[in-house]
Structure 1
Amino acid sequence: MSCVTEAPLLQPGQALKVMTWNLQYLAGKRYVFYYDLPDREGPDERPTAADVAYSLDEVVRVLRDEQPDLVFLQELDEGARATDYQDQLALLRERLADVYPCSTQAFYRKAAFVPQPHILGSVGMKLATLSRLRMDSAERLQLPLAEGDLLQRPFERKPALLVSYLPVREGGRLAAINTHLDPWVPGQDTAQRQLAMTRSLLDELERDRTPWVLGGDFNQLPPGQYLRLDAVQRSRFAPDSELDALKAYPRVPAAEETDGAERQRWFTQFPNDPRVTGPDRTVDYVFHSPRLTRIDARVRQLDTLRISDHLPLIARFLLPPVH
């Protein structure tokens, strides 16, 4: 956790603007990476330095324009060979220090050398949360790991919950939770176990009467969207959404939005598959405590299609007043 200056305190009854965005390590949209196709035979292995610089400029532009109070970012590289060993969070903070004095970060993939033909070098990937408001503590909670070879596990992703706590004037605090869950794998229950642990944390916060907001890339379609997806694209998802594990809590976008007549407005991913010509699915969400009241929400689609294979989801909430 880092706060470079004294940031303002969160106020009871304040409107809170939240964004979640998977930045795809600033690679941009001019590639089909080896893992982007169902057969894992995409031709590209890394972005150019010029494309990474372009994406950095574009992310800064969008964040300055929107100025959310909290930003949940996924897939930020640090020390990865594929992005020239950049510390991408440091690059963002340098450009946005006047807007976001506070940040927290946690690795969920880190290895000095991955002996995989498409990588053959270091990897480092983070969750990062930017805040305009004061933070006083943070923790990384390890989620259950995918099944697999114990020899391969040190090189794989280790998804986590990055939980940041914001003190509230008049007492109490808000929990801001950032995550990027594993994709669905046939025959494994990793998503179920990760969501079950997430639900346990949310239940605990509710019992403690601590308001919370959870945002990230869940790698899960909402109920009803599987059959609407092109048949080739369905292989990455379970026929029955695992999101029901969190159905006790309000979700943005809500079920009636992702399954309604205007569901395209809520698509948050534009895959790097040449067979897909535009955003076609929802996999990024913001869940929130019933103590928070949703004001409005949207996906910023039109001017963000070239920045990442995910689009920023934005929501505003009203915090509970002092009781």
Structure 2
Amino acid sequence: MPGPTGRSQVSSPPSSIVARFAMSLPRPLRLLLLIVLPLLAVLIALVYSLTWRPLPHEEAAVSCSGQVAQLQPGQALKVMTWNVQYLAGKRYVFWYDLPGGDGPDERPSSADLAVTLDEVVRVLRDEQPDVVLLQELHDKAKASDYQDQLALLQARLSDLYPCSTEAFYWKAGFVPHPRILGSVGMKLGTLSRFQIARAERLQLPMLESDLLSRQFQLKRALLVSYLPIRGGDELVAINTHFDAFAQGEDTMQRQVEMTDGLLQQLQTSDKTWVLGGDLNLLPPGQFQHLPEDQRSWYAADSELQDLARRYPMIPSLQQASGAQQAQWYTHYPNDPAASGPDRTLDYLFYSPRLTPLASRVRQHDTLSISDHLPVIGRFFLPSQE
């Protein structure tokens, strides 16, 4: 519209404003801008292309081969959760394994990757759980020869597990950390002897960090799989790996709260469910048993209690903090000071609709496979009403 002089007033485009501002600067600063701004644009584009930004809720791809049986009402169900430490084995002290972040090793050898794959296959064939919840599987990571480790397991176990699904929680084409300097890829993997109809990835709350670091950091998740049960019901199997090294922040509490919210929804809907994974949370009573230099990674008042109060779990709080708690230790640190498993970090939580039959941590022949040990639970599914 006309201004006071009678001439139309037209707003200057942003580019003109920027140009006038630049021209008003002293010549040395203008030259610096001409160099810095293009470099900054290239850096932003490079970081964007190398990193991964998952949505809060995404569908997860499901793979099933051939005719796959459905679960039956009232049948026995065996579930295992296991953090397989990207098939690295137990001959290393990795740089992140020590409280100071100064461990000597950066990656396992190709030979050890092959041996550990054989060992994981051996244990799974021996146990033959119906549902396997695996954490720390690598995919296209420099530190593990760019293997797709879930695919390697599937190729060796296709007769047992025709169905699988997966969800990444770390992915980048290049991480500029001096102990990495290459690609990373880490995911949750769920194997099933029975049909998986669908699956989804739910983003967990993340560690607080600056905008640049956030692009390269782990993005923990819940991998939720839906297994039909003949007659119209379904089993919801949830696989997860909570954050580590999060003390001084409320990240663990927020991850517990989101997980609890999902479980409460399933309870309200009268769903049958099981959740397993490496929660990186101590049961009450174990904090005091740890060496002092290990305590800084955990809260003395464990966030685990919020889940343990609501839902049955393996191991139970009584088992994990009682006189026989060593039978329920699931973590054997890659620390020269540790002579064996010394804490519980891995759990199975389950719906009250499941009838528990038996549970254990397989310790006797798994100590050299991973820094975590497999937790196994057996249940009866609810009978058809």
What's the TM-score, normalizing by structure 2? Answer: 0.83
Aligned residue number for residue 23 of structure 1 = 84
Aligned pairs for 1:260-275 (under 5 A) are: 260-275=322-337
Structure 1 residues 97 and 85, CA gap change in structure 2 (3 angstroms): same
Q: Deviations over 1:63-94 (max 9, x none)?
A: 00000000000000000000110100000000
Give 1:47 shift.
0.3
- 2:305 corresponds to 1:227: no
Per the alignment, residue 264 of structure 2 pairs with 203
Q: Indicate conservation of the 8 Å contact 1:12/1:319, yes or no.
A: yes
1:43 paired residue among 100, 104, 115: 104
Query: How far is the alpha carbon of 1:250 from its aligned partner?
Result: 0.4
Corresponding residue to 2:212 among 132, 151, 154: 151
1:163 and 2:163 aligned: no
1:176 aligns with 2:237: yes
Give the counterpart of 1:103 among 161, 164, 167.
164
Q: Distance in 1 between matches of 2:150 and 2:248?
A: 35
Mapped pair 1:258 → 2:354: no
> Is 1:126 the counterpart of 2:187 in the alignment?
yes
Contact 1:184–1:191 at 8 Å: present in 2 too?
no
* Matches of 2:175 and 2:289, distance apart in 1: 37
- Higher Cα radius of gyration: 2
Residue 186 (structure 1) shift? 2.7
Query: Structure 2: how far apart are the matches of 1:281 and 1:191?
Result: 18
Note if contact 1:184-1:190 (Cα within 8 Å) is conserved in structure 2.
no
Percent of residue pairs identical: 63
Looking at structure 2, the residues matched to 91 and 156 of structure 1 have their Cα atoms a distance apart, in angstroms, of 26
Deviation at 1:172, TM superposition (A): 1.4
Amino acid in structure 1 at the alignment position of 2:154: R
Take 1:24 and 1:282, find their aligned partners in 2: how far apart are those partners? Answer: 16
The aligned amino acid for 1:121 is G
Matches within 5 A, 1:16-95: 16-95=77-156
In the TM superposition, what is the alpha-carbon distance from 1:31 to its structure 2 partner?
0.3
Structure 2: runs of 5 or more not aligned = 1-61
**Quick one: distance in 1 between partners of 2:216 and 2:306?**
28
Distance in 2 between residues matched to 1:202 and 1:6, nearest whole Å:
31
How many Å separate the matches in 2 of 1:59 and 1:276? Answer: 22
Q: Which runs of 5+ in 1 are unaligned?
A: none
Note if contact 1:166-1:175 (Cα within 8 Å) is conserved in structure 2: yes
Aligned-pair CA distance for 1:244: 1.5
Secondary structure of the structure 1 residue equivalent to 2:154: helix
- What is the letter of the counterpart of residue 11 of structure 1? Q
- The amino acid of 1:259's aligned partner reads S
The count of aligned residue pairs is: 323
Structure ranking higher in helix proportion: 2
Measure, in 2, the Cα distance between the counterparts of 1:272 and 1:187: 23
Moved over 4 A (4+): none
1:216 has 2:268 as partner: no
Aligned with 1:227: secondary structure? helix
Deviation string, structure 1 residues 195-250 (Cα, Å, up to 9, x no partner): 10000100001111110000000000001110011212112111111012212000
Q: Matches of 1:304 and 1:211 in 2, distance apart?
A: 30
Q: How big is each residue's C-alpha offset from its partner over 1:81-108, in whole Å with a ceiling of 9 and x where there is no partner? A: 0011010000000000000000010100
Give 3-state SS (helix, strand or coil) of 1:242's partner. Answer: coil
2-side partners of 1:189 and 1:36: how far apart?
A: 22
Quote the RMSD (CA, aligned, Å): 0.7
**Cα offset, 1:260, TM superposition:** 1.2
Out of 253, 278, 291, the position equivalent to 2:340 is 278
**Deviations for 1:148-193, whole angstroms, at most 9, x for unmatched residues?**
1110111111000000000000111110000000025232000000
Q: Are the aligned partners of 1:21 and 1:74 in contact in 2 as well (CA < 8 Å)?
A: yes
Q: Match of 1:194, SS?
A: helix
**Structure with bigger RCO (C-alpha 8 Å, 6+ apart):** 1
Separation in 2, partners of 1:54, 1:165 = 33
Match of 2:361 in 1: 299
**Aligned partners of 2:96 and 2:67: how far apart in 1?**
42
In the alignment, residue 336 of structure 2 is paired with which amino acid? P
Within 2, Cα distance between the matches of 1:245 and 1:6?
A: 41
Question: For residue 315 of structure 1, what is the aligned residue in structure 2?
Answer: 377
Name the amino acid aligned to 1:267. Y
SS in structure 2 at match of 1:152? helix
Corresponding residue SS for 2:140? coil
CA distance in 2, matches of 1:170, 1:255: 35
CA distance in 2 between partners of 1:66 and 1:98 (Å): 14
Question: Corresponding residue for 2:19?
Answer: none
Q: Equivalents in 2 of 1:222, 1:7: separation in Å? A: 38
Superimposed CA distance per residue, residues 277-303 of structure 1 (whole angstroms, 9 cap, x where no aligned partner)? 000000000000111111100011011
